[in-house]
Chains A and B, each alone.
Chain A
């Protein structure tokens, strides 16, 4: 027991947990990151699929409490599953989740009048409360001078000015949290009279007016930026150019890092080959485990670059502008700009994309978005596209001055194919099985902000870790199992090992089905394990060609060179078309089951996506043959 605890009155319960509450865009997440550092735990609330972010917050008293970051909310009358969780946690109604001892209401200092509406509702509950007057530096930049003392007086709770990014006011906030809890027994928390929404808004107007000392009519940065970024014709051009830069960057900037990683993998394989006696065990380690996992790990630079752009666009506030620009277009297929953000996230991975659909309030709108999310080209397809494009598409310079490579152009076309496919499917679904009244689009557009290096780094680290963990566990297991299936039973001397193996027999059966669309036996073989995850297709092909090659020289050849030799162009193109549509990802199926509460929709998703994949791979193959490629 610490000294602090010992001198507490016996009847006071120990301070254990606090929670951040506030409107969306109040800067809660940045404050949460600043208060808890990298010591975060991300999970789901029990029984629901809303993300629970928790971390450890050390208090000046020496205690460490659990701090949770509740989903942003406009009021205690929930209109979305996220808001429902916030309401139930605050009121202590969520089973398996203890009510926070202290509530930290986070206000955007430059948007007081709006944020005070929900703040009053929370304070009126009469629970221990502290207000964090956040992003006070941005308010000052906007020409606002605020009086925190007057605000504290009007609200009846302590008000601490904070700047999460500069770590200003964090110690004071931690002190106030401890004090707010210590005051509970003393009965110094005044429950405020219950007001209705209109009265709270008038009250918010009055309180904000009293707290603002001076307000200059300084032209704000973000309205000037909006003049350009939401411009009727400049806006879409900038958005499209930005997306194009992202995809070019993913393909070309990552190259040196990828080559470096490949070098490291080759070095390790070479080392093992030098140190171990030749035999099945050595082959298992080099050809099975190392080349399988290595073939996927080299795509880490591309994934980091893609997430760097997605996280930066989100943190800067541009993502909401993109939603605004895209809303009319999305409305054309029966969706709204709100679907744009989950769909854009699906370019990184459909799993967070599908989870992000929780912010879509209309259920039919949400279901449609979930069903088309796997059509967005996720980062797991990049390894597959990367290998095939490198193998069969020459990097001919194109365009003015040859600034655009043909390989980048083909990659861009594959992304476009996914988008067009998704739009057509959405239109068909909205007209048939997800028919409903036209969805609306109501969304607050956050202020522009410089993305913070620390928050970006934390986000990138979490994404990279998820990817590497997948490579280390699921992809490792699949690579090992595939190697075993490929190597047993052993072929008689002089016979082809792949033909004799278990995997060869399974693939021979599947090959009959996929032969009409130009797929050879090696592809049929790669399709089986890549049901687990698309990128496994690459490691499977790597393993297959490593096993079937007889001499050392051939083994060391790059996978791309092997494919170039073994695959005709129409087959390679059909394989690319297949992966635009094929739902080969266990995680996506699992998350769809969880988000739609049953097997009905994931089964539907599997069926329609495999159908489309087969059809379009076929069309690609047959057209390529007809054009004599």
Chain B
């Protein structure tokens, strides 16, 4: 039952840097409709394999640079908070 490698699901803004993860769920209702559509168009949807490559430099460590496939996408913590991920 217990596995050392399995971590409990967390939101994307809490995912440590360079940790491969999979998006488990997205609370689309927490996002502005156009932004939700743009995130989906960029492939940030349930099932996507991602990792956090960089965090912003100023107070709040905002925004985040997400690696998805061979692409890097910048987004804000407010978007990352709506995404539940599990480390893989």
Give A contacts to B, CB under 8 Å. Answer: 74-75, 77, 79, 110-111, 113-114, 117, 142, 197-198, 201, 222-223, 226, 230, 232-233, 235-236, 320, 323-325, 327-329, 331, 337, 361-362, 437-438, 440-445
Tell me if B37 counts as interface (CB < 8 A to partner A): yes
Give the complex CA separation of A553 and B73 in angstroms: 63
- Chain A residues whose C-beta falls within 8 Å of the C-beta of B40 in the assembled complex: 197
Chain B residues positioned under 8 Å from A77 (CB to CB): 37, 41
List 12 contacting pairs A-B, 8 Å CB cutoff, sorted by A: A110-B70, A114-B42, A114-B70, A226-B65, A233-B57, A324-B63, A324-B74, A327-B56, A361-B35, A442-B74, A442-B75, A445-B73
- A266 to B43 CA separation, bound complex (whole angstroms): 61
Contacting A at CB under 8 A, from B45-88, are 45, 53-60, 62-63, 65, 67-76, 78-79
Q: Determine whether the beta carbon of A445 is less than 8 Å from that of B57.
A: no
- For A110, the chain B residues whose CB sits under 8 A away are 70
Contact of B42 among A74, A327, A362, A438 (CB under 8 A): A74
A232→B57 CA distance, assembly (Å): 5
| Contact indicator A232/B72 (Cβ below 8 Å) | no
Secondary structure type dominating chain A contacts: helix
Instruction: Check B35–A440 contact: CB distance below 8 A.
Output: yes
CA distance A324 to B63 in the complex (A): 7
* In the bound complex, CA of A121 to CA of B50 (Å): 24
**A142 to B54 CA separation, bound complex (whole angstroms):** 21
Chief secondary structure at chain B's binding surface:
mixed
With beta carbons under 8 angstroms apart, the residue of A197, A226, A329 that contacts B72 is A226
A residues within 8 A CB of B34? 79, 361-362
Closest 6 CB pairs of A and B: A74-B41, A328-B58, A445-B72, A230-B54, A443-B74, A328-B56
User: Quick one: given A327-B63, A337-B63, A361-B38, are A441 and B75 in contact (CB under 8 Å)?
Assistant: yes
Q: Could you tell me the distance in whole angstroms from the C-beta of A20 to the nearest C-beta in chain B?
A: 19
Q: Which residues of B contact A226 (CB under 8 A)?
A: 53-54, 65, 72
B1 at interface by CB-CB < 8 Å: no
A323 touches B41 (CB 8 A): no
Interchain CA distance A444-B70 in the complex, whole Å: 11
Q: Contact check, B62 vs A323: say whether CB atoms are below 8 A apart.
A: no
Complex Cα gap A111–B67 (Å): 12
Counting contact residues on chain B (CB < 8 A from A), the size range is 20 to 34
Query: When A111-B70, A114-B43, A236-B57 are in contact, do A440 and B79 touch as well, CB less than 8 Å?
Result: yes
Known: A440-B78, A444-B73. A325 touches B57 (CB 8 A): yes
What total of A-B pairs shows CB separation below 8 Å? 111
B39 at the interface (CB under 8 A from A): yes
Given contacts A232-B55, A235-B57, contact A440 B72 (CB under 8 A): no
Asked if A444 and B75 make an inter-chain contact with CB atoms under 8 angstroms apart, the answer reads no
Q: A110-B70, A114-B69, A441-B63 are in contact. List 4 more A-B contacts (CB 8 A).
A: A77-B41, A226-B65, A230-B53, A327-B63
Which residue of A has the minimal Cβ distance to B70?
A111
Q: B62 touching A327 by the CB < 8 A rule?
A: yes
Q: Is B32 an interface residue (CB 8 A)?
A: yes
Q: Which of B37, B56, B57, B72 contacts A444 (CB 8 A)?
A: B72
A195 to B45, CA, bound (A): 16
A104 to B62 alpha-carbon distance, docked (Å): 38
Instruction: Select which of B43, B63, B65, B68 is within 8 A of A117 by beta carbon.
Output: B43
Q: Distance (Å) between the CB of B45 and the closest chain A CB?
A: 7
Q: In the assembled complex, which residues on chain B have CB atoms less than 8 Å from the CB atom of A437?
A: 32
Q: Tell me which residues across on chain A come within 8 A of B35, comparing CB atoms.
A: 361, 440, 442
Which residues does chain B contribute within 8 Å of A235, judged by CB atoms? 57
Chain B residues with Cβ below 8 Å from A329 are: 58
Q: How far is the CB of A485 from chain B (nearest CB, A)?
A: 52
Give complex CA distance A232, B63 in Å.
12
Distance in angstroms between the alpha carbons of A110 and B53 in the assembled complex: 19
Residues of B close to A223: CB separation below 8 A = 53, 67
Chain B nearest Cβ from A444, distance in angstroms: 6
Task: State the CA gap A110–B72 with chains docked (Å).
Answer: 13
User: In whole angstroms, how far apart are the Cα atoms of A463 and B54 in the complex?
Assistant: 35
Is B38 a contact partner of A331 (Cβ separation < 8 A)?
no
Asked whether A111 lies within 8 Å of B76 as measured between CB atoms, the reply is no
Closest A residue to B48 using CB positions: A201
B82 CB, min distance to chain A CBs, angstroms: 11
